[in-house]
Structure 1
């Protein structure tokens, strides 16, 4: 994806990109709240199944509207095992681990820890892509994971007494899965929307099997089911299309990309207002360490690229 697009109708395109980007960030900011609402009534595998199926349907409808379903079929037939392997990584494994973390941790902790995936991406780029970390990268890593410890121990980092050791481990593991998926997906030369739809098409029947065998069966109609539908539409599928379109429409990708830093703070607002979680001061301190770490790491990547 190029940083600069053609200069024609720049103002119009940038305005549209900004609007789409803000909409995507706003919707993503509600994801943590929707996760917790759904998990009050559903098991992890039930939530996973419903969300994946809803997202799959949304992506297929989008491609049908664009007249590109045939292209999806051709791509699936060309490399079915690759798409299946990637689907097992994301959305299946990634969201299964992430939702299990949310099931064990307060929403404010799970969502903020998960936000360190960008720092994990920098670490994994060393063995996977052969990149070299400079001093600025290491400062970003230290800052980010110090923030994780502050959040997970609720402001007592030296006590090392976590709200849930398993929950924190799962939240950090989800960042590894996402970073690996991201690094592998960068090697794909195909259309990102087609690839995303293919991953979900492959994951849908597997998620149903997991739900029926180990997840307690299909969920009943209620708040949990509605929340799972919301997750499928606005965390996994539709919002990604908004964000992708915003980046493609912008004359400068970084201007839209920086909007993502609004997400964790907005998410805390929804968590407090809807879930009724009292935001712990340690969460804000940890976030104040994580976000600058991510910004520092991104600037370092830009400087060395």
Structure 2
């Protein structure tokens, strides 16, 4: 694919805008649907989108041969994403104010650096260590509403689930490093094989009253959080020679998201959320700086 920096920037900005809306979409949809209901509709929506994209690219015929090469691997991917990750993340959003769940979810890149030590044999650099300290200081500030010395959490279970979701998401990306398969087909197989687990969670929760507004919200999540955002970001990375610089645009997303949460959901944004998010983004910034220095070398 020929490089086109202007188009890459446009795609990356569109992706960031999509990501900025999903915290509000999560919270509003959870007012209407249970976590498994929401994930079922969203997963089916993503599955349809990815199938259409694969068909347009003429790749559907490659699905079965690819699955036969590593069925257990793709089943694992499906269990991690969408099944495990989104069920845990949605449960965290159900228990916490969206501003807290969203901010805590941004620590996934820091979790990834931790899990890369035992699973990929990588070593923690001084930049990683600083990022970990900054990131989890931010977590403590957010989870205690600005009073970390009290260790008084709004919802200990909600905080635990939000942090657990970052570990699942990091584990998913570590598993993805094992094989460099076609990203669209890989994601499509994961969503297809993860669907029975989502249906099992729905049967266990026992909620089947799908409202129209809730269903539309879940369709939006499936389209723009799980589907088009992934495809646009993938295209942006392929079109650019400066992927680390494009990745810096992600830092816009949490602030746009907080504004939308205040405007659409009606959450009063706490100063502690802003302070804690500042610590987390500082930690992510340290990691990005280290990547830029490596690229320059």
- TM category (shorter chain) comes to over 0.9
2:283 maps to: 293
After TM superposition, give the deviation of residue 74 of structure 1 in Å. Answer: 2.1
Tell whether the 8 Å contact from 1:124 to 1:180 is kept in structure 2 after alignment.
Answer: yes
Q: Cα gap change, 1:142/1:118 in structure 2, threshold over 3 Å: closer, same or farther?
A: same
Question: Aligned equivalents of 1:217 and 1:155: distance in 2?
Answer: 36
Query: Matches of residues 1-305 of structure 1 in structure 2 within 5 Å?
Result: 13-211=4-202, 213-301=203-291, 303=293
Number of residue-to-residue matches in the alignment? 295
- Secondary structure, aligned partner of 2:148: coil
Farther-moved stretch of structure 1 (164-173 vs 259-268): 259-268
For 1:136 and 1:257, the matched residues in 2 are separated by 17
Deviation for aligned residue 1:304:
5.8
The alignment's TM-score, normalised by the length of structure 1, stands at 0.93
Shift of 1:301: 4.7
Equivalent residues of 1:98, 1:174 under 8 A apart:
yes
Report the Cα distance in structure 1 between the residues aligned to 2:9 and 2:132, rounded to whole angstroms: 29
- Check the 8 A contact 2:45/2:222 in 1, yes or no: yes
* In structure 2, distance between residues paired with 1:104 and 1:132: 35
Query: Could you tell me how far 1:292 is from its partner in structure 2?
Result: 1.0
Q: How far does residue 29 in structure 1 lie from its aligned partner after superposition?
A: 0.8
Cα offset for 1:146? Answer: 0.4
Q: Distance in 1 between matches of 2:290 and 2:78?
A: 31
Contact 1:36/1:103 (8 A) holds in 2: yes
More displaced 10-residue stretch of structure 1: 163-172 or 83-92: 83-92
Structure 2 unaligned regions, length at least 5: none
Contact 1:247–1:257 at 8 Å: present in 2 too? no
Q: Note the aligned Cα RMSD (angstroms).
A: 1.5
Runs (5+) with no aligned partner, structure 1: none
Matches of 1:70 and 1:33, distance apart in 2? 37
User: Deviation of residue 131 (structure 1)?
Assistant: 1.5
Tell me by how many angstroms 1:261 deviates: 1.1
Give the drift of 1:196.
0.6
Any conservation in 1 of the 2:248–2:288 contact (CA below 8 Å)?
no
- Alignment partners' CA distance in 2, 1:184 and 1:50: 25
Residue 150 of structure 1: SS of its match in structure 2?
A: helix
Q: Distance in 1 between matches of 2:113 and 2:216?
A: 36
Structure 1 CA distance, aligned partners of 2:215 and 2:26?
Answer: 11
- Name the TM-score, length of structure 2 as normaliser: 0.95
* Greater alpha carbon shift after TM alignment, 201-210 vs 154-163: 201-210
| Residues 2-42 of structure 1: per-residue CA shift (max 9 Å, x gap) | xxx86xxx5xx111000000001100111111111111011
